[in-house]
Structure formats: structure tokens, C-alpha cells
Structure 1
Amino acid sequence: MRIGELAAQAGISRDTIRFYEKVGLVEGRRLANGYRDFPPEAVPWLHYVRTAQALGFSLAEIARHGEELREAPDTAESLSVLFEEKIQVIDARIAELVTLRTELTTRVGTGCPLRTAGRLA
């Protein structure tokens, strides 16, 4: 299918598909007339990519695990391992944000939020 049809079926823009193609998330072959031609299985894959993004996975993570993700059944243990790894990353980020929030809270009302006890931070 051509890029316009893929975009319509996947619910994303042609530019997004071109970008995904550039970063290796989707692959289309070039026809003799220069048009891109994508296989029908690109539609569910692009839905999968968008879902993975919504779950917090970066495009780099999706690309890195792309082959594994494409071939794994939805109940596969490998998916659970990826989710558990992502949860650990999220937990670490939450801890960093809590620390940052605490630091900012201590600086509220200090006149200059970049100073602590009269010295530059």
C-alpha cells in the first residue's frame, strides 16, 4: 500500500511515517515510479508503535526491541520483562523528580531561588 493509504489506516501523518522510516521503525520498498510501498502488516505495527509510545517507550527503545516486539505474542514473557525494565526506569525518574521538587520547595521564598543560605548554588 502507498504511504497515504498507510497513513489513513494507521491514523498518523505521512510525515510521521517518513520519519519512522528514516529511524528504521517501518520499511517500505520503492516502486519503479518512486512511490513507497508498504506491506499490510505495517498498519498493526504502527498501531503497536503508537501504543508503546503512549506507555512511555521512546522511539529508540521501540527500534532497539522492534524485531523482538514484532515476533512476540502479546502474552510473551519478553514483553513482561520489557515492561518491568521500563517500570524501573520510571521509578528512578520519579525518585529524581521527588528530589528535585524537594530542592525547589526549600528555595521558595528565598528571594532568589538560585541561592541557598546566601551562597550561590
Structure 2
Amino acid sequence: MLIGELAAATGMSRDTLRFYERRGLITGERRPNGYRDFPPETVPWLQYVRTAQALGFTLAEIRQVGEELRGAPDSAERLSALFEEKLRIVEARMEELAAVRGELLERVGAGCPLG
């Protein structure tokens, strides 16, 4: 599948696909004419990448997880563990943001300097 075909199949731009390739998320073999040739399983993988990004995973995390999960017999359990770990991080960040929100609410209209 050429990069243009992959872009059409995923709704992603060619630049995005090239970026993902530079980051090691996808790989395509070079044809003799220099064109990239991506395997068909790249399409569902890229859908996974987009979903994982929406869930707060970084591209580095997605690349690492992808390497871990490919062909792993216990991938569902490992994926659930990763989700639980990400959930803990999100909840901790929410607590931090709630504390910042509280501080801001106290200062609204108080004319309190930042010191």
C-alpha cells in the first residue's frame, strides 16, 4: 500500500504518516522507485494509535506498548494493566489541577499579589 493509499484509508495526511514513520510507529519498505510500501495491517494499527492518543498516551508510549503487545499471548491483560496505570496518572493530575483551581478561586477578586 503506497503512502497516498494509506493516507486515504486512514484519513491522515502524508506528512503525519511520514512523521509516524520517523518516530518508529510504522514502517514501510522502499520499492526500487523509492516509494514506500506499507503492509495492509498498518491501517488498523494507525486506528489504534489515534485511539491511544485520545486516551492520553504519548507516541513514545504507544510505540513501546505496540512492541510489547505484538504477538504477546497475554496482550489483553497487559493492555488492561497499562490502562490502569494511565488512569492513576490521570487521576493524580486531576487532583493537582483541582488544587490549582482552588488557589485561583481564592485569589479571584482578592487583589492578592502572586507572592
TM over 0.5, yes or no? yes
- Alignment root-mean-square deviation, CA: 1.8
Gapped regions of structure 1 (runs ≥ 5): none
Offset of residue 76 of structure 1 = 1.2
Task: Calculate the TM-score normalised by the size of structure 2.
Answer: 0.91
- Structure number with the higher helix fraction is 2
Deviates more, 1:50-59 or 1:19-28: 50-59
CA contact (8 A) 1:45 1:70 kept: no
Query: What aligned pairs does 1:11-50 form with structure 2 within 5 A after superposition?
Result: 11-50=11-50
Query: What aligned pairs does 1:1-121 form with structure 2 within 5 A after superposition?
Result: 1-72=1-72, 76-111=76-111, 115=113, 120-121=114-115
Task: Calculate the TM-score normalised by the size of structure 1.
Answer: 0.86
Larger radius of gyration: 1
Distance 1:74 1:47, change over 3 A: farther
Gapped regions of structure 2 (runs ≥ 5): none
Write out the 4+ residue segments of structure 1 that deviate beyond 4 Å after TM superposition.
72-75
Distance 1:14 1:42, change over 3 A: same
